[in-house]
Amino acid sequence: MRAEVHAPPESPRREPNNRDTPHREFYASPTGRVAARLLRARMLEIWPDLTGRQVLGLGHAGPYLRLWRDGAARILSATTAEVGAQYWPRGEANLSTLVEETELPFPDFSFDNVLLVHGLEGAENARRLLREVWRVLKEDGRLLVVVPNRRGVWAHLDTTPFGQGRPYSPGQLSRLLERSMFTVERRKVALFVPPFRTRLLLRGAGIWERAGRTLAPRFAGVALVEARKEMFGAIPVKPLPAKGRRVLMPAAARFDPGEDRTAA
């Protein structure tokens, strides 16, 4: 059954039902803003330019997707039930939709890049989620997964979203990706500053990052792993439309993988 996409009455700058959630509250806090800044820097080291690419942010990726908005051919945000419905980007036409993690409402081979943040650690079935990501990625598509690091302080304090769900070590995450038909390309770590609201700590976040990467990389708060979709060994199947429930998606977020908006 083809996923049905419905558009509500046009109101491109309204933000309906955009209630605060723990994720939004965290990223609005001083600690969250510092964490987002440090993670964006690491993401840009991995994906410095996504010009002309079809990009999907899955989980709660809104604070990071703006890195590539100017160049990407199309960029969408898909939030999971754990995160809750979100309106993104603020003050503009909505490009976000609520999805079921094991039934993404997109056709096969839709995206060049998928950014998965605040999604894998809370998934009921991590393998099924990654299988769906594999399905919607194009051949040779790239996935960037951000998860709390098992050895880091952030994973053991439940005061931030990184303290929720199941943490992974970089090695555990790499093995999970390889079992899910991905080839790991790069691994990085971030967030060595403790997740406290002490101004002195937050002001010195850059120093903590540089020192941590040099002296104690295993104790980073977050692991970032980039993986490439592996087609070798996959069972050839005829591409099928996405299956799933009805999804309410504003007209601005309707997805056509063949449409290029760079010239718009």
CATH code at 5-149+166-191+222-243: 3.40.50.150
Give which of 154, 150, 2, 24 is closest to 77, Cα–Cα: 24
pLDDT for position 232:
74
Owner of token pair 């036409």: 93
Helix, strand, coil share (%) of the chain residues, nearest 5 = 30, 25, 45
Whole-number pLDDT of residue 2:
39
Which tokens in the block code for residue 113? 């890049």
Q: pLDDT band for 14, please (50, 70, 90 cuts).
A: very low
The domain limits of the chain are 5-149+166-191+222-243
**Tokens standing for residue 233:** 């060994």
Q: What is the mean pLDDT of the chain?
A: 85
For residue 183, count other CB atoms closer than 10 A to its CB: 14
pLDDT for 163-198, tens place per residue? 999 999 999 999 999 999 999 999 999 999 999 877
